[in-house]
Structure 1
C-alpha cells in the first residue's frame, strides 16, 4: 500500500516560522513535523510514500532525501502552481493504482491507520475520512454520518449557528484511485470544498471512520505550542528523545556549555528539556 503526504502548503498562519521554511519542516521537539508522519506510516508497514511539493519544496527534499534514513522510499511530485489538496494528489495519479492513504505533512497524530483501512474495505468505500470530535469545530470541516458511517452531510468551517456536529475532518483519508477520475488535471481542486459535495450529491460511497487516538492540526501558534506540551505529557504516542529521568528528555546531540548543563523548562507541563550549546 502507498501513501501520499501533502507537503505543499505555505503555512501563512505560522509566520514568521514559515517565511523561509516550509511548514512540514517546522520542528516539534527538535524534529520536523513531517518526520512524525513518516514514522507513523512506517510503523504501519507503509514504506512507499509519495510527497507532493510546492512552496520551498527543495528544502524538504534536501532534508528527507530518498527516505532511506527512515526505512522508506520517498518519491517527490512537484507542482508549479498550488493545486489544492485534491489537485496535488491528482497530479500524482500515474503513481497510484490501488487504494492509498493521504496524510498531511503538517499535522501530528498517532491514529491506527490499519483500523481505518479495515473499515474502508469492509464498507466497500471509495473514500474514507478519518474523523475526530473536537471542542471547537469552527476552523474545520464538520461531518454528519448515518448509522453505518456513510457521510450524509459536510460543511467546511461553519459559523456558530451552522454547527450541526463537533466531529471533524482530520485531512487523513483512504482513497480508491477511481475517485481521481472525477477531477480535472492541472487545476486547483479541494477535497472538502469540491470533491466531498460531489460524492454526497451522487450518493457515492463516502464514509467517515471515527478514529481513536491523538490528532492536532499544527495550523496556528497556539496549536504548535500545545502540540509540544502534549508530546511532553505523553498524550500522543510518538518517539521522543531519551528520557534520562522522569520528565527530563536529553537529545542525542546535546553538549554541555562551559561544563554546565543547560535546561529549558516548560511552565505549563513542568517538564525539562535539556538543551545544547
Structure 2
C-alpha cells in the first residue's frame, strides 16, 4: 500500500502562523502535524509515501528527508503552480499503479486504516471517502417554510452533517479523471465521476478526527498527549 500526503497548500486559515511554516509543519506539542501523520501511517504498515509539496516545500523536505529515521521511504513532488487538492496526483501517474491512500497533510485521526481499506476492497469501486459526523452551530434563527407560510422555526440550531475527513482510498482508475497541469479539486473529481456514473463510496468513522487547518481543532490537538496516547481505533498492519 502506498500513501500520498497532500502538503502543497498555503494554510490561509492559520495565518499569520503559516507565513513562516507550511501547515503540515505546524507544531502539535513537541512534534509537527506531518510527523504525527507519518508515525500513524508507519504503525499501519505503510512504508512507501509520496509527499506533494508547493508552498514552502523546501522546509518539508529539509525536515523529513528521505524518511529513513522512521523506517519509511519518502519521495517528493513539487508544484510549480498550485494544482488544487488532487491535481498533484497527475505528477504521480506512473508511480500509483495499485490501490493507494491519499490524505491531507493537516489532519490527525485514529481511523482504522485496515478497516477502511478492507471496506474499499469489498465494494470494488475506484474511490472511497472516509467520513465523520461534524456538528455546526448556526448563529441564526432557521425558518422552514412552505410557500410563504412558516411551518417550523429553530433558534440557532446545531446541525450535524457527514463530512469528508480528507482521507481517500483510490484505484489507479481514478487518475484518468485528473487533468495535467490544471488546478483540480477533490470536489471536481467527485462531480466528474458522478457525471460519468462511476460510483463513489464512503466509510464512516466515529473516532478521533481533527482538521488542523481550523483554529479550534488546532487548539484541541495541543491538549492531547500524542506520545502517550494509544488510539482506540488504531489499525493493525495492512
- Tell me which interval the TM-score lies in, with the shorter structure as reference length: 0.7 to 0.9
Q: Is the partner of 1:97 in helix, strand or coil?
A: coil
Structure 1 residues 43 and 235: alpha-carbon distance in aligned structure 2, compared to 1, 3 A threshold: closer
Counterpart pick for 1:183 among 173, 178, 183: 178
Which residue is 1:168 aligned to? 163
Shift in Å, 1:81:
0.6
Q: Is the partner of 1:219 in helix, strand or coil?
A: coil
Shift in Å, 1:223:
1.9
Structure 1 residues 218 and 83: alpha-carbon distance in aligned structure 2, compared to 1, 3 A threshold: same
Shift in Å, 1:91:
1.8
* Contact kept in structure 2, 1:2 and 1:46, CA below 8 Å: yes
TM-score normalized by the length of structure 2: 0.84
Aligned counterparts of 2:213 and 2:183: Cα–Cα separation in 1: 21
**2:21 corresponds to 1:27:** no
Which residue is 2:81 aligned to? 81
Q: Is the partner of 1:95 in helix, strand or coil?
A: coil
Give me the CA root mean square deviation: 2.3
Aligned counterparts of 2:111 and 2:220: Cα–Cα separation in 1: 18
Q: Is the partner of 2:135 in helix, strand or coil?
A: coil
**2:94 corresponds to 1:99:** no
* Contact kept in structure 1, 2:177 and 2:193, CA below 8 Å: no
Q: How many residues matched?
A: 214
Structure 1 residues 201 and 218: alpha-carbon distance in aligned structure 2, compared to 1, 3 A threshold: same
Q: Deviation digits for residues 167-190 of structure 1, max 9, x if unmatched?
A: 101110001111110121111000
Q: Is the partner of 1:167 in helix, strand or coil?
A: strand
Q: Is the partner of 1:178 in helix, strand or coil?
A: helix
**2:203 corresponds to 1:213:** no
**2:195 corresponds to 1:201:** yes
TM-score normalized by the length of structure 1: 0.72
Q: Is the partner of 1:91 in helix, strand or coil?
A: helix
Structure 1 residues 137 and 129: alpha-carbon distance in aligned structure 2, compared to 1, 3 A threshold: farther
Q: Deviation digits for residues 9-49 of structure 1, max 9, x if unmatched?
A: 11011112110111110000110101111111111100100
Aligned counterparts of 2:163 and 2:38: Cα–Cα separation in 1: 23
Runs of 4+ in 1 over 4 A off after TM superposition: none
Q: Which runs of 5+ in 2 are unaligned?
A: 139-157, 233-238
Aligned counterparts of 2:159 and 2:11: Cα–Cα separation in 1: 28
Q: Which runs of 5+ in 1 are unaligned?
A: 139-162, 239-277
Aligned counterparts of 1:31 and 1:165: Cα–Cα separation in 2: 31
Structure 1 residues 203 and 165: alpha-carbon distance in aligned structure 2, compared to 1, 3 A threshold: farther
Q: Deviation digits for residues 93-124 of structure 1, max 9, x if unmatched?
A: 22110010011111111111111110001000
Identify which of structures 1 and 2 has the higher relative contact order when contacts are C-alpha pairs closer than 8 Å and 6+ apart: 2
Shift in Å, 1:222:
2.2
Which residue is 1:146 aligned to? none
